[in-house]
Structure 1
Amino acid sequence: MIRKYNKTLLTAALLVALSIAGCGSDGKDGQDGAPGAPGTPGTPGTPGTPAGSVVDSVVSANAADFKITLAPEDIVVVGSEPFSIKFTATAKNTKGEYVPFTGLERIALYVINQVENDSGTGAPMLWSSNSIANEFGSSMYCNLTGETTDRQGNVVNACTLVEDTENLGTYSGSWTHEGNAPVVSADGDPNSLFRVMVRTYDVTDASGEGISDKLLSTPLDFIPATGELAVSAKDSVSNAACIQCHSELTGYAEGDMRIANIGAHHNYQKVENCVTCHNPAYAADQTDPDKGFNPNWNAMIHTIHAGGVLAEDGLLQGDAKEFAGVHFPAELSECTTCHDNGTQWNDNIYAEACLSCHMNVDLTTGENHRGIIPSGDAACAGCHGAGSLSPILAHNVGDRATAAEGLTFDFTSATVTPTADPAKSTLTVVANVTLNGAAIADGTDLTPYMTSTRRGLLIGNLEADGTPLRGLGMAIGDLASLSGGVMTFAKDFDASRLVGPIYVTAEIQVCAESGLVVKCTTNDDGDVEQIGVANNAPIKYFNLSDPNAETVIARMDDPDRITVSEAQCNTCHGNLTHVKGTHGATDFTQCMDCHNNRYPGSYHGGVVYDTGEVDTEGKPVFAEVPGITFSNRDLVTVAHRFHSGSWDGGGIYFNKDMETVGYPAIATDCQACHKEGAVMFAADGGLTSGKRSIQVSATEFISPVAESCRSCHISGSALSHFKSNGAVVQGDAMTDADLPIESCATCHAEGKAYGIDKAHSGVAH
């Protein structure tokens, strides 16, 4: 504002000068004026503002370089007193220092408060939007004129925004129109919790480009009557819970956690931001065939995250169909994946929250509710307030973790004996086995406990560098004896395979209920009724040729050679068992039996994209991306491919513009999966893991770094780049497994100008 004011003065002075120059028609100079009064000796002039002490743009495109600060004593939004607000705006200068930000011209103000709900329907405490209650809209604008145009193009009243010319970067807002401002709750309770949030507009970076992400204040929760800061008991989902999958916006102060990658409205960054609009004022009937969902936050967020499942069951309609592509990566029944901030989700039972997932239940008829028609929400607690039908028990929350040790294998030996056929030998593996904490009883048949009998013991050879070679596995049917809690398995194999170091683990998924492994039962549709829990089988190593030889461990069992961890995966997935369905995997040493660089071929060799068209049933039409195929199961490339969308369909895929759809995190946020501080490149330029090739056929191999990158970078130009830097790529595979190391690390190793730590930093603004 000061900048514009000074320009106005300059223009006025110029006009005056021109008008004076135009006086007099004879073209002669006028007489000199009287001398001016001399200045006061020794009195300095008013100093100018030092360069960099204030800014009027954000030094970079990083939204975290700009911040709004609010204080309770500077806000009046309840009662009969006139509305007022004061706040400060700061931004980083070129030195990286936060200094006052001058020149703000437009903001939006969101104000909500908590009110008790005595209607008998819904949560015991509700959010109430002050401006919506005053029939004004979800927010109130403030600008320099006190009048603005809303989203519908209507001219509406706004509060008047003024910058303090004596204290740049400090702004105040007031209401100059009739009555009080619409964000004031005249009849509100000043002893209740109020939440105030500011959104700013038209802020640019140093190049004049508008900041792409929203510039929002941290929502201020306070009690107006006392000015005390407060914490809302309604926020049962923390921002940290969302960040587990959606990545975190970087650059903000410690404790100011903001969500990076929520697409709606281009990211309102915090749960506290979202509820300023998505509150009961916007509640709607989800049975409305046009709307199809309830936009109140507690209901809407359930429907969104259950979207893929609800779509498969044909339950989405109207606008809610846009949620069909959302496939929740964790287990929907594990409520604490998101609800990590208190037990309100279990203690407060009301239909609105439940029906947003259980969309096929009709409480007016009792359909899919055992015919029960409750008289109201208060009646729900009669069945669901405690006991087996309470949310925490009905959804088996925590059961998987409790039953994780339910079936445990402790492998103690692996030996080889010859057979009558000189080409064959018998491999015998022995394990101590416990079931629900006790030694497994003699005569126990495990198959009734198993969700699938496809899997059993995972056994394979190990190369000197820890590379696994699968092929010695056994099924439960290969059980030779069970006595005193000891299970002995035996099977004949090609004698040439039964030499040297081997690994032994197991991959068996069993049914669990109430924290115990139980025999599986099925419902009328033939689906297993219990949750599936993977066995616990720590990997063991044996040398079939020399029991005293130095142990060779699998590369995926060496923390120094693996840059990811199951714990990192589980921040989003919760556990790996449900991700793999009936396979029962819990850790990478089980995954490696199939997903290694010596097992060629792929069940998902092609790549498809969403054409943007739909079929007669309204389902999206996918087409194959020509010329792109993959021929390996290596865990690195498979994990990259699936999460980037280079797949043959599923929850994550490419749209028609070849952009990734369905991945919840920032695509370049490698830390979402990789361990913090992990170094991808070894000193010789190869991978830290020691992997130097990937097998793509019985006799052919390709370069591992390039294939990892190609999982995401599938363009023809990227392929040419890989080849020009020494990579052996699919289509030009070599028959030697000991391939030369690509020169990728020259530019892309950590610390280099184009290092993956910079290009894939995951920085989100």
Structure 2
Amino acid sequence: MRKYNKTLLAAAFIAAFGLAGCGSDGSDGADGVDGVNGVDGADGADGTNAGLTVTTVENAYDYNLTLDPADIVVVGSDPFSIKFTVTGVGTGNAEVPFSGLEKIALYVTSQSENTTDTGAPMLWTNHALANDFGSSMYCTPTGTAVARGGAEVEACTLVEDAANPGTYTGTWAHDGNAPVVLTDGDANDLVRVMVRTYDVVNADGTGISDKILSTPLDFIPATGELAVSEKDSVSNAACIKCHSSLDGYADTDMRIANIDAHHNYQKVENCVACHNPAYAGGQDDEDVGFNANFNAMIHTIHAGHHIADSLTGEAAELFGEIGFPSELNECTACHDNGTQWNDNVYEEACVSCHVDVDLATGENHNGIVPASDAVCSGCHGAGSLSPVEAHNVGVRAMTTDSIVFAVSNVTYAEDAVDVSGVMQDQMSITFDVTVDGSPIVDGFDFADYANYDEIKTGTVDADGTYYVGTSVNLSGVVSSGGQFVVTKVADFNVAGQTIAITPRFSVCADSDAQLIACQDASGEDQYAVEYVAVTMDTKYWNLANADGSGANIARQSVPSMVTADEAKCSTCHTSLGIAKHYGNERFDQCMGCHNNTWGGSYHVAVEYKTDAVDEDGEPVFETIEGLTYNNRDLMTVSHRFHSGLWDDNRGFPAINLNADMETQGYPAVATECSACHKDGMDIFAADGGLASGKRAIAVNSAGTQFISPVAESCRTCHAHSDAAALAHFKANGATVEGEPDTTADLPVESCATCHAEGKTYGIDTVHSSVAH
């Protein structure tokens, strides 16, 4: 219960009555008897009403701990001390002092120049680890604390200022100085201080689920000035691109939402408090298999399944199944804060990803055994062996931008060619192709340079529905005048209709972003970058008009009918061409295969990873009986894949269900729809259907059997498949998997009645990361 200043409340009460009594000029009453003088009240703190405090908060972000460099002594021979203030959100969302802290942990690190010829140029030193005390120091009112494992340990003594609630000081009452003081530290080095608070509850007495961590403070002890770390080459924003952001914090205090390790320390700056050279090593220990220093460990984690065959021990168990959603050599996917990753070359960072390289013997390093890290820059400091060049950073994007396809003409004739006595239709499509802005040279053939060589020609109805059509190929067609004219004879049967021309076309490129034959003369792969999508806008052509005018537009090309955001996909994948590998960069290119009118699936069943392993030590997957999916609609396939409702018939699924039916491998918060969907755009339309206008999904390849889209969208993420769930769907008007209808003219489901945005159980409420 909050405490209030009774004197102020009484004054307000009297003032209210005084104002109410000023309505007329009445007669003076008799003088009253003098009252007894009241007791003088205690002086309040400057600018603060000492009675207005809180002892609970509803969310971690309502708790704000503030540090000031002038109030911290953690370097040198002076006695340890720290002072900080804490506020919480009170009545009317006002920030008021937070009173009653019982336990915190203090993490202190210093950043200093590396004077050896091994490792990074700048190093972190955890003060408590350097003093053989552990990774942090507790502070409690008693000066002792119970550590993990149950042992009682010495702690700093935490005292709240009675005259200034919410202001706390910490001092050391035990022998020697506090373990977070680095006696021989340089006061001119950057020092980082971070506080973790324990045992904070909400008004119901339930513990706050998130870790309650202060914003790390970086400063120079000698001057008290704030400082900027030279080592932080990866920002929190880079991690958030895949791992989501914790809601509620200010944009200037971005925190990572979803990292499993230690139930998430929320910031890169926090992780290095422990993952620094004091915990380095282990890469050569077969039982551990990874180096716990942050730079090395993060490389090994994100290389994951790429290097799984070379991992041992804990690394194989913890990291071997992690799939990196971007290109592994795209260093800037994470390194977004400077060029340190390219400028500073040293063994620890390199071999944590290149795990098959042994620099002690020269194995897989051309036999070269470097004398020390100091000589690495001799080869890798610049030129083709520098990280930015050797890792082909940005080459995919450069190649994609380099080659541009555009449809300039289409001709079509029904029953125009006699093929063995059967009249067939003929379609010719003219592609204008440029390379680096210039028309492609005459006589060029893509046959040797294309991974995928397919141009889809589906049809589009007046309502924007796309239907799969016939494909044409460029291989074997020779360029002339900057154009490729592709002619195909087939039973198209599309006279007078709109066709959508979409690419499923990707090429091979070398490390200079130049086209290269995908295989050499001996048939060996030789590309540096594969699956590079060409740039090509989807072209809509009305075959009823010679110039293609008046074409229908598929809903996948209408922004108001597309609720997912391609740009958000690319924040994690860098490019949709990487995610699918077929050269599709946009949703209206993916629709060539992934649409609601072409049913069937290559992944009908759902498998989960059991706790068992086979004779080779590989995990054993088992099928979830009765749970099937028979469509390839882009929405439902995306939901299925990202929630792990998949099978491994094409290799180990990067995202899967474990034996407890929990999703493993998806980096974001699973309930955060905004990780993929557009901000501020409703999923539901006014009629209760989907905003996309999609009202049915085909479940057979002939496109003659259909189910309802809203229930299927939910089912492909939640795996709602039991009898009660299906009954609920059907009771609300859904046609469900296993009981399809033969018409696409299905009734609109009533799901939006409860689950539309703004409703009590709206998806914007139950799927928010705060609710999660």
The match for 2:527 is: 529
The Cα of 1:545 is off from its aligned counterpart by 2.1
Percent of aligned positions with the same letter in both sequences?
A: 57
CA distance in 2: counterparts of 1:643 and 1:258, whole angstroms: 22
The match for 2:258 is: 261
Mapping 1:317-332, distance limit 5 Å: 317-332=313-328
1:331/1:52 CA distance change after superposition, 3 Å: farther
CA distance in 1: counterparts of 2:119 and 2:41, whole angstroms: 66
The match for 2:656 is: 653
The match for 2:229 is: 232
The question of 1:691 aligning with 2:690 is answered no
CA distance in 2: counterparts of 1:46 and 1:279, whole angstroms: 49
> Does the 8 A contact of 1:55 with 1:102 survive in 2?
yes
CA distance in 2: counterparts of 1:39 and 1:316, whole angstroms: 84
1:564/1:367 CA distance change after superposition, 3 Å: same
The match for 1:34 is: none
The match for 1:438 is: 438
Mapping 1:713-728, distance limit 5 Å: 713-715=718-720, 716=722, 717-728=724-735
Name the SS for the 1:194 alignment partner.
strand
The match for 2:714 is: 709
The match for 1:494 is: 491
The Cα of 1:430 is off from its aligned counterpart by 0.7
1:525/1:57 CA distance change after superposition, 3 Å: farther
Q: Which letter does structure 1 place at the counterpart of 2:707?
A: I
1:257/1:523 CA distance change after superposition, 3 Å: farther
1:282/1:522 CA distance change after superposition, 3 Å: farther
> Does the 8 A contact of 1:478 with 1:490 survive in 2?
no
CA distance in 1: counterparts of 2:523 and 2:628, whole angstroms: 37
Name the SS for the 1:472 alignment partner.
strand
Mapping 1:457-476, distance limit 5 Å: 457-476=455-474
Q: 1:734 aligns with which of 718, 741, 744?
A: 741
> Does the 8 A contact of 1:145 with 1:160 survive in 2?
yes
1:522/1:627 CA distance change after superposition, 3 Å: farther
The match for 1:360 is: 356
> Does the 8 A contact of 1:316 with 1:324 survive in 2?
no
Mapping 1:600-611, distance limit 5 Å: 600-611=599-610
Q: Write out per-residue CA displacement over residues 635-656 of structure 1, whole angstroms, 9 at most, x where no aligned residue.
A: 0000011001111140111111
The match for 1:413 is: 409
Name the SS for the 1:339 alignment partner.
coil
CA distance in 2: counterparts of 1:455 and 1:669, whole angstroms: 36
Q: Write out per-residue CA displacement over residues 105-147 of structure 1, whole angstroms, 9 at most, x where no aligned residue.
A: 1110000001111110000110011111111111011111112
The Cα of 1:731 is off from its aligned counterpart by 1.3
Q: Write out per-residue CA displacement over residues 204-226 of structure 1, whole angstroms, 9 at most, x where no aligned residue.
A: 11111111111000000000111
Name the SS for the 2:252 alignment partner.
coil
Name the SS for the 2:82 alignment partner.
strand
Backbone CA RMSD of aligned residues: 2.2
Q: 1:93 aligns with which of 90, 94, 103?
A: 90
1:207/1:50 CA distance change after superposition, 3 Å: farther
1:102/1:654 CA distance change after superposition, 3 Å: same
Name the SS for the 1:308 alignment partner.
helix
CA distance in 2: counterparts of 1:212 and 1:505, whole angstroms: 47
The match for 1:643 is: 642
CA distance in 2: counterparts of 1:761 and 1:150, whole angstroms: 34
CA distance in 1: counterparts of 2:192 and 2:485, whole angstroms: 64
> Does the 8 A contact of 1:144 with 1:162 survive in 2?
yes
The match for 2:398 is: 402
Q: Write out per-residue CA displacement over residues 192-213 of structure 1, whole angstroms, 9 at most, x where no aligned residue.
A: 1000000011111111111111
Name the SS for the 1:508 alignment partner.
strand
Name the SS for the 1:269 alignment partner.
coil
CA distance in 1: counterparts of 2:68 and 2:424, whole angstroms: 80
CA distance in 2: counterparts of 1:317 and 1:248, whole angstroms: 31
The question of 1:64 aligning with 2:69 is answered no
The match for 2:191 is: 194
The Cα of 1:563 is off from its aligned counterpart by 0.9
The Cα of 1:498 is off from its aligned counterpart by 3.9
CA distance in 2: counterparts of 1:51 and 1:89, whole angstroms: 14
Name the SS for the 1:712 alignment partner.
helix
Q: Which letter does structure 1 place at the counterpart of 2:258?
A: N
Q: Which letter does structure 2 place at the counterpart of 1:279?
A: N
CA distance in 2: counterparts of 1:448 and 1:423, whole angstroms: 33
Q: Write out per-residue CA displacement over residues 333-365 of structure 1, whole angstroms, 9 at most, x where no aligned residue.
A: 000000000000000000000000000000011
CA distance in 2: counterparts of 1:316 and 1:180, whole angstroms: 41
The match for 2:765 is: 758
Name the SS for the 2:553 alignment partner.
coil
CA distance in 1: counterparts of 2:369 and 2:523, whole angstroms: 25
Q: Which letter does structure 2 place at the counterpart of 1:688?
A: A
Q: 2:705 aligns with which of 700, 703, 713?
A: 700
Q: Write out per-residue CA displacement over residues 515-561 of structure 1, whole angstroms, 9 at most, x where no aligned residue.
A: 22233346999444310211111111111123465221111111111
The Cα of 1:188 is off from its aligned counterpart by 0.7
Q: Write out per-residue CA displacement over residues 461-484 of structure 1, whole angstroms, 9 at most, x where no aligned residue.
A: 1111121111221012463x5321
> Does the 8 A contact of 1:260 with 1:764 survive in 2?
no
The match for 2:615 is: 616
Mapping 1:128-139, distance limit 5 Å: 128-139=125-136
For structure 1, the residue ranges without an aligned partner over 5 or more in a row are 4-37
CA distance in 1: counterparts of 2:627 and 2:144, whole angstroms: 55
> Does the 8 A contact of 2:657 with 2:664 survive in 1?
yes
Name the SS for the 1:742 alignment partner.
coil
Q: Which letter does structure 1 place at the counterpart of 2:389?
A: L
Name the SS for the 2:515 alignment partner.
strand
CA distance in 2: counterparts of 1:729 and 1:473, whole angstroms: 31
Q: Write out per-residue CA displacement over residues 164-207 of structure 1, whole angstroms, 9 at most, x where no aligned residue.
A: 11111111000011111110111111111000000011111111
Q: TM-score, normalised by structure 1?
A: 0.91
The match for 2:518 is: 520
CA distance in 1: counterparts of 2:486 and 2:604, whole angstroms: 35
Name the SS for the 1:705 alignment partner.
helix
CA distance in 2: counterparts of 1:64 and 1:466, whole angstroms: 44
Q: 1:119 aligns with which of 104, 116, 121?
A: 116
> Does the 8 A contact of 1:425 with 1:498 survive in 2?
no
> Does the 8 A contact of 2:234 with 2:336 survive in 1?
yes
> Does the 8 A contact of 2:456 with 2:504 survive in 1?
yes
Q: 1:374 aligns with which of 358, 370, 373?
A: 370
CA distance in 2: counterparts of 1:41 and 1:680, whole angstroms: 67
1:173/1:597 CA distance change after superposition, 3 Å: same
The match for 1:428 is: 428
The Cα of 1:376 is off from its aligned counterpart by 0.6
Mapping 1:20-169, distance limit 5 Å: 41-44=37-40, 53-58=52-57, 60=58, 62-169=59-166
> Does the 8 A contact of 1:409 with 1:506 survive in 2?
no
The match for 1:27 is: none
Q: 2:270 aligns with which of 264, 273, 290?
A: 273
CA distance in 1: counterparts of 2:198 and 2:151, whole angstroms: 18
The match for 1:29 is: none
CA distance in 2: counterparts of 1:309 and 1:84, whole angstroms: 48
1:627/1:373 CA distance change after superposition, 3 Å: same
Mapping 1:437-456, distance limit 5 Å: 437-450=437-450, 452=451, 454-456=452-454
CA distance in 1: counterparts of 2:76 and 2:484, whole angstroms: 75
CA distance in 1: counterparts of 2:85 and 2:61, whole angstroms: 15
> Does the 8 A contact of 1:248 with 1:764 survive in 2?
no
CA distance in 2: counterparts of 1:271 and 1:325, whole angstroms: 22
> Does the 8 A contact of 2:67 with 2:84 survive in 1?
yes
> Does the 8 A contact of 1:429 with 1:488 survive in 2?
yes
The match for 1:16 is: none
The match for 1:12 is: none
Name the SS for the 1:109 alignment partner.
strand
1:549/1:187 CA distance change after superposition, 3 Å: closer
The Cα of 1:610 is off from its aligned counterpart by 1.4
